[in-house]
Amino acid sequence: MIVEFVSLHVSLCVLGIILSVYALHVELEKEKNKNYVAFCDFSDRMSCTKAFASYYGKGFGLVQRIVGEGSILVQPNSILGIIFYILQLVLGHIGGYLCVQLLFYSSVLSCLGCVWLAYVLFVILDDTCVVCISTYAVNFAIMFVNYQMWAVL
**93-110 tens-digit pLDDT:** 998 999 999 999 999 999
pLDDT at 85: 98
% of the chain beyond a pLDDT of 70:
99
Q: What is the SS3 assignment for 146?
A: helix
CA 57, 58, 60, 64 dihedral sign is negative
Instruction: State the Rg of the chain over Cα.
Output: 16
Helix (H) or strand (E) holding 41: strand 41-43
- Per DSSP, what are the bridge partners of residue 43? 46
Give pLDDT tens digits for 128-140.
999 999 999 999 9
Give pLDDT tens digits for 38-66.
999 999 999 999 999 999 999 999 999 99
